[in-house]
Amino acid sequence: MVNKMKQITKENHVEEAEATIACHECDLLISLPELEFGQTASCPRCNHLLTRRFLGAHNRILALSISAFIFLLFALPFPFISFTSQGKEFVISFADSIVNMALMDFFSIAILILFTTLLIPGACLLALIYVLISLQRKRLMPYTHQLLQIVFILVDWNMAEIFLVAILVSFIKVSSLASVFLGLSFWSYVFFIICLIASLSLLDRYQIWQKVKQHD
Ligand SMILES: [Zn+2]
């Protein structure tokens, strides 16, 4: 469907069933009709994007989230990065990078990396998958509301892509000193981030909460 832009204004929101939404930028309360697929709604005062509705968004988010979680699991057991220097080969797994950080007395940073690059995105994906499977059923499964709230809290703490950028910077630095090879886990982690970003870019807070309310 063509991505038709629609600015929701105070004049055109009276015909259909409406819901009230507060603008995150200026706190303006806006009555919003149900959008058609491909439409977006912006705040009439500050033009902040309020919500957008894509055709089949929740099915696509579910597929991408499951893929992202599988790629995240594959990023754990295999070599993440390996390099040879002076005839010796060093192989580092994802877990090694965190454990080595802790062994070098950067314990708090190791914990931060563990949570923001592995546990938080993993928990966020599992919660999102649960919510979306729940929405596909006729009745919501238990704790759907709570898990959706947790998803939106955890999303802000995900820093997986920042971790990857840091790895790439290190890769460039080390590659001038040694022969560096990117392992299967590294590529799994790259695909995990691609799927995660694609999934979260389709996730619309207002639309998914509306869907949850429909199933209540
Ligand atoms: Zn606004």
Residue 12: pLDDT over 60? no
Distance (angstroms) between ligand 1 centre and the Cα of 30 equals 9
Domain ranges of the chain: 2-52, 57-215
Residue 33: pLDDT over 70? yes
pLDDT for res 13: 38
Taking alpha carbons only, the member of 74, 77, 54, 111 closest to residue 195 is: 74
pLDDT tens, residue by residue, 163-215: 788 888 887 887 777 788 888 999 999 999 999 999 999 999 999 998 998 88
Which one has a higher pLDDT value, 86 or 155?
155
Token code pair at residue 136: 């596909």
pTM: 0.82
pLDDT tens, residue by residue, 75-102: 988 888 888 877 888 888 888 888 888 8
Distance (angstroms) between ligand 1 centre and the Cα of 27 equals 6
Residue 112: pLDDT over 80? yes
Mean pLDDT of 104-109: 87
pLDDT for res 44: 92
Distance (angstroms) between ligand 1 centre and the Cα of 34 equals 19
Distance (angstroms) between ligand 1 centre and the Cα of 11 equals 16
Residue 5: pLDDT over 60? no
Whole-angstrom distance between the N-terminal and C-terminal Cα of the chain? 29
Distance (angstroms) between ligand 1 centre and the Cα of 132 equals 29
Distance (angstroms) between ligand 1 centre and the Cα of 50 equals 8
Distance (angstroms) between ligand 1 centre and the Cα of 12 equals 17
Residue 11: pLDDT over 70? no
pLDDT for res 202: 93
